[in-house]
A and B are shown apart, each in its own frame.
Chain A
Amino acid sequence: MASVKLTDVKKIYQGNVVAVHDFNLDIKDKEFIVFVGPSGCGKSTTLRMIAGLEEISEGTIEIDGVVVNDLQPKDRYISMVFQNYALYPHLTVFENMAFPLRLLRPRMPNAEIYKRVTQAAEVLGITQYLTRKPKALSGGQRQRVAIGRAMVKDCKVFLMDEPLSNLDAKLRNQMRAEIILLRKKIDTTFIYVTHDQTEAMTLGDRIVIMKDGFIMQVGSPTEVFDHPNNLFVAEFIGAPKMNIVKSQLLKEGDKYYVNPFGSKIEVGGAKGKQLLAKNVETQDILLGFRPEHVRLEQNPSASNFKVTLEVNEMMGSELHLHVVAEDGSKLIVRIPTIQLNDKEREEMVYGKELYLSFEGKVMHFFNPETEISLLSNQESPQKSDLKQDVPEE
């Protein structure tokens, strides 16, 4: 149980490849933090620097107030679960889980080791496999053993590096739920790395969204979903991803409007007030709206726009409609199946013309140049840095 503090942490690989840029983050005691981002964004590197498996090029990492930059992994009081489980093939499940305890000095008495391992095995439901070798276990069981091995030791921080990505989809959902339960039982600081935004949203107290070595946004799942700081976060979080269209933001008196595809939709609720408070002027923007916030309209009107249906994906509880607007931009729309009657569902075929509209409360506005949200309070230096760091070829 400990806080973790990263200050200006940088990772520079040989040949001046910067994998992580000035990473600043305060992780509170017992917090569940998720690093998420596309592959190559530096999330695993950051985790491995915390674990002590990668050298820290610049900056400091503190665990519980102690700078650990030069400490060996074994002296950092951390536990880690690896993506490929990394079980010791020559040891039984019991010995695998006992391995960290046997290395403790002064020696831990055998009785205590036995007690801890069997307890952990019970929690994870692997008691009956304790005498087996890892070879004789399924993927899910191996993952449990790996978690068990990390659990038995008293650690300050529990690190997980994509622990579920080697499992099949069904097992992954199950293990995800178990990790949430486990977290309640272990009650320590968790740092979890994943590329899957669903895992990030469901597990994290706070999510750190990364791209190309920069933190794009840090926030609770609700925050990053409802108020993405920039275009990248907006598109990365949520599935299917947010629709982004070119539009204009029009200020008329105290009211704001957007005009995607020749329509005119009023910006309502809190968003309008926020825009007014920031005194945003009429300008070109990238307009974002999530597929689930789109409504089907029966008739054309000034507040909706016409699209043509291309693909209809029947997901069971909802339809994912891939549509093309008049200017050729592609959009995705999610319509709950329950809203449509049988006839309407049958009519959803290629070439059907639909009229779409969306709530004024749930739209997002991004500066087309900087890709930062107009409502964001963060000055986002990352983007400008990013441009400078593009290697000149």
Chain B
Amino acid sequence: MEKEKKVVETNPAQEKTADQIIKENTALRDAEIKELKRKNEAELKQRLASTDSKEERKRIKEQNKVDLYNQISEIKNKYNDLLAHSLPSGANKDKRHMGMKSKRIIGNTTIYIILIIMTFIWLFPFVCILLQSFRVESTHMVGYIIPKQWGFDNYINLFTKKAFNDGGFGRWYFNTLIISIFVALIQTIIVLCMSYTLSRIRFKGRKFLMNFMLILGMFPGMLTMIILYRVLKDMGLTESHAIPGLILVYVASSGMGYYVSKGFFDTLPKSLDEAARVDGANRAQVFFKVILPLSKPIVIYTLLTAFMGPWGDYIFATYVAHHEETGMNVAVGLQNLISSEQSINANYTMFCAGGVLVAIPITILFMILQKYYVEGVTGGAVKG
């Protein structure tokens, strides 16, 4: 009976005090600190009065500052300890925990809301294009997003419609694929050889070459447009022969993109090369048998970036191909579809379908290879 009574008595007291104890504790603590400061000030005045030397005063003041700080921290610690003991077990912890938890929830919610908004803004154009590409009731640009009638007509028309002379979407798509594959392969080989050389072999002018290429890379590629066109024209690699011309343009300066892969090669221990060379390999064998198998992420990263460059390129492709439809890549061809007001109305949905088709291979590639892509981008940074 007595026990129960006690419980009844103490329980409300405990629940009530969790907050109060903290308040009381803080008040007491602040009072004590105030008192300490007051005392200290008086003492300091006395001590300062006892000396004339300016230096000595400065010293006393500084010493006092340190002492005061230490004393205050002592008081704070004392009250913190007191608090920990006087609070009902777990109350303090729970309270803090709750605070943290609710803070985290608020923080996370805000972040998610921002992210969702950003995602929506970012995805909206893609969703629009996807929906438009399935719209069959009219080919015009319209004021609504959801199609009234769905179908694959636009996709079929892309490949069959005779309006494109001898060009046509299939041809452009194929052109782009050829360009991209060749560029990806050639560029990867050049870039990897280049970066391996810069990473491993010390030769005269190495530093200069690296800096030179870095500075050269800072100029926008557009600057070279006119001269490149002149060169390609003289070589006969424009218009209907634009494909080899474009491959040449894309591949030509690729050695300058050595940074990322050089960073990666730098992280592979040099003793691996040395061991292989002692084991009887020449430089090429070291590269192909030891280094390349260890560099899968960076090979894939280089391939992907090299493939994507020409795949989506418009500017170079448009002036090299000029008006010749057989030499166009997919970006230029699609733009051609909607180049006039009349053709926009005739081809708009088809244009959207073309856009979707362009995105497909890249999307698939990324889905398969994204693991390596991330490793390739961050590899140099983390492993070092």
A contact set with B: CB distance below 8 Å: 51-53, 72-74, 78-80, 82-84, 86-90, 99-100, 103-104, 149, 153, 159
Contacts and interface: CB of A to CB of B under 8 A. Distances in A.
Contacts of A72: 277, 282
Contacts of B293: 90
Contacts of A84: 269, 271
B282 A88 contact: no
Contact of A53 (B269, B278, B282, B294): B278
25 contacts: A51-B278, A53-B274, A53-B277, A53-B278, A73-B278, A74-B278, A74-B280, A74-B282, A78-B278, A80-B274, A82-B274, A84-B269, A86-B269, A86-B271, A86-B274, A86-B275, A88-B276, A88-B294, A90-B293, A99-B279, A103-B280, A103-B281, A103-B285, A149-B279, A159-B278
Given A84-B271, A103-B285, A90 B294 contact: yes
Contacts of B280: 74, 100, 103-104, 153
Contacts of A103: 279-281, 285
A137 B269 CA distance: 18
Contacts of A100: 279-280
Given A88-B290, A89-B294, A80 B275 contact: yes
B272 interface: yes
A73 B277 contact: yes
Interface string B173-206: 0000000000000000000000000000000000
Contacts of A80: 274-275, 278
A80 B280 CA distance: 11
Contacts of B290: 88
A87 to B, nearest CB: 8
Interface string B259-293: 00000000001011011111111100100011001
A293 to B, nearest CB: 42
Contacts of B278: 51-53, 73-74, 78-80, 159
A82 B281 contact: no
B316 to A, nearest CB: 38
A284 to B, nearest CB: 49
A153 B280 CA distance: 10
B276 A99 contact: yes
B175 to A, nearest CB: 37
Interface residues of B, number: 17
Contacts of A89: 294
A84 B282 CA distance: 21
A388 to B, nearest CB: 29
Given A74-B281, A78-B278, 5 more contacts: A51-B278, A53-B277, A74-B280, A83-B271, A86-B275
B274 A74 contact: no
CB-CB nearest 3 A-B residue pairs? A86-B275, A100-B279, A86-B271
Contacts of A83: 271
A52 B274 CA distance: 9
B156 to A, nearest CB: 47
B277 A74 contact: yes
Nearest to A91: B293
A103 B285 CA distance: 9
B277 A86 contact: no
Nearest to A100: B279
A82 B279 CA distance: 12
A86 B278 CA distance: 11
A51 B275 CA distance: 10
B24 to A, nearest CB: 54
Nearest to B294: A90
Among A51, A73, A104, which residue has the most Cβ atoms of chain B within 10 A? A73
Nearest to A51: B278
A389 to B, nearest CB: 24
Contacts of A104: 280
A89 B289 CA distance: 12
Contacts of A82: 271, 274-275
Nearest to B285: A103
A73 B275 CA distance: 10
Contacts of A73: 274, 277-278
Contacts of B289: 99
Contact of B279 (A53, A90, A153, A159): A153
Contact of B272 (A51, A53, A86, A153): A86
Contacts of A79: 278
A42 to B, nearest CB: 18
Nearest to B272: A86
B304 to A, nearest CB: 21
Interface string B288-302: 011001100000000
A79 B280 CA distance: 9
Nearest to B202: A14
Contacts of B274: 51, 53, 73, 80, 82, 86
Nearest to A90: B293
A53 B276 CA distance: 11
Nearest to A78: B278
B298 to A, nearest CB: 14
A6 to B, nearest CB: 18
B293 to A, nearest CB: 4
Contacts of A51: 274, 278
A247 to B, nearest CB: 48
A328 B293 CA distance: 62
A72 B279 CA distance: 11
Contacts of B269: 84, 86
A100 B277 CA distance: 9
> Which of B269, B275, B285 counts the most chain A CB atoms within 10 A?
B275
A89 B282 CA distance: 19
A99 B278 CA distance: 11
A159 B279 CA distance: 12
B356 to A, nearest CB: 39
A53 B274 CA distance: 7
B277 to A, nearest CB: 5
A120 to B, nearest CB: 14
A61 to B, nearest CB: 15
B272 to A, nearest CB: 5
A308 B276 CA distance: 57
A12 to B, nearest CB: 14
B85 to A, nearest CB: 44
Contacts of A88: 272, 275-276, 290, 294
A51 B279 CA distance: 11
A272 B271 CA distance: 51
A53 B279 CA distance: 12
B306 to A, nearest CB: 23
A88 B278 CA distance: 13
